[in-house]
Amino acid sequence: MGKLHIVGGGAIGSLIAASAQKNGVPYDCYPRDRKSMPSWAQWQDGQTTMLKPAKFAPVALAETDVLILPLKVYQLNSALLQWLPYLTQQPTVVLLHNGMGGLETATELLGYDYPLLLATTSHGALKVKASTGDVYVQYTGVGATQIGAPQIYAPSCDSPPPDTLSDLSQKKPQLANAIAALHDALPPVQYQGNILKALWTKLSVNAVINPLTALHNIQNKYIADAQFEQSRNAICDEFTQVANAYGLDFDAKSVHENVLSVAKATGENFSSMHQDVAHGRQTEIDAINGYIVDMATKKGIPVPENTLLVERVKALKL
């Protein structure tokens, strides 16, 4: 089995690394700098796992290796450019980020036939500064990772990605092995024949929770308040129209219900966009509501609520 190579020192990347360490799966981490990388992880039962020392320069990867990019979408281009010379053996690349647009960036740099997987995770993790000044990653919520090959993978063959993991093992064993390695590191990793549907579902959740929590400085649970009902309905309606226009089967009522159930399940959290604003960091608004606006524009669909949210989040004082 190949090794997992985890790029960036973010909470989810560090969680995968710590879990790989705990489960005996070979891995290396490549954070941007020394101080951004957690030294250990704390699990929900209070136990801890030390992370092995990080690496700071890419290395040539083997075909059986897996390059995981748990980064913000806007960091993807430069990370891939840095790794490109080391990917000549075509190791599997896994994109794992909030929002959309990573697939377009990756296919532009790697080509359409590159072995690529798209993933989304509901595991919760937070980077915390200990009293000693060390940074550690705290596992805040057990979740699951959904993964699949994009529809456009190998456009030369016009069949969509296989429906089941065993079909994938037959047709693309390299991708199935990469999924198995990820599952061994941080289970469960669930194969999705239609990963785009899973990614758009996550997009709908982020499109409602993230801007509302950031703009109103609230925890996730408060977006269920009656004062946000009109905005929630408008975002979900616009989202559904756009998704339907691209052949993705959603209905606005179920989209809205799912958003409310995620807001409840993650009620005590401050969303990633709330945290980005609070820490003066760039937000992912372009890859979330901005993506809905861009996709709507291409189809001539008016999306005033999403457009307004993009403007308002961008206008927030950092």
210 binds ligand KPL (CB under 6 A): yes
Select 178 or 236, whichever has its Cβ closest to ligand KPL: 236
271 binds ligand KPL (CB under 6 A): yes
306 binds ligand KPL (CB under 6 A): no
How far apart, in whole angstroms, are the C-alpha atoms of residue 88 and residue 179? 21
145 binds ligand KPL (CB under 6 A): no
140 binds ligand KPL (CB under 6 A): no
Q: Which residues of 205-233 are buried (b: 16+ CB within 10 A; e: fewer)?
A: bbbbbbbbbbbeebebbebbeeebeebbe
Mark the segment that binds ligand KPL (CB under 6 A) among 71-79, 202-210, 222-230, 252-260. 202-210
313 binds ligand KPL (CB under 6 A): no
Q: Which amino acid is at 145?
A: T
Minimal distance, residue 285 CB to ligand KPL, in Å: 11
Q: Which of 116, 259, 262, 287 binds ligand KPL (CB under 6 A)?
A: 262
Ranges within 83-102 binding ligand KPL (CB under 6 A): 98
Select 119 or 178, whichever has its Cβ closest to ligand KPL: 119
Mark the segment that binds ligand KPL (CB under 6 A) among 26-34, 88-96, 128-136, 204-212. 204-212
How far apart, in whole angstroms, are the C-alpha atoms of residue 24 and residue 117? 23
**Residue 176 to residues 148, 150, 217, 308, Cα–Cα distance (Å):** 9, 14, 41, 41
137 binds ligand KPL (CB under 6 A): no
Residue with tokens 């941080």: 186
Q: Which of 204, 266, 289, 306 binds ligand KPL (CB under 6 A)?
A: 266
Q: Which residues of 96-119 are buried (b: 16+ CB within 10 A; e: fewer)?
A: bbbbbbbbebbbebbeeebbbbbb
**Angle, CA 288 vertex, CA 75 and CA 248 arms, to 5°:** 120
Minimal distance, residue 108 CB to ligand KPL, in Å: 25
Neighbours of 81 (CB within 10 A): 10
Neighbours of 55 (CB within 10 A): 12
Using CB under 6 A, list all residues that contact ligand KPL. 98, 205-206, 209-210, 220, 262, 266, 269, 271-272
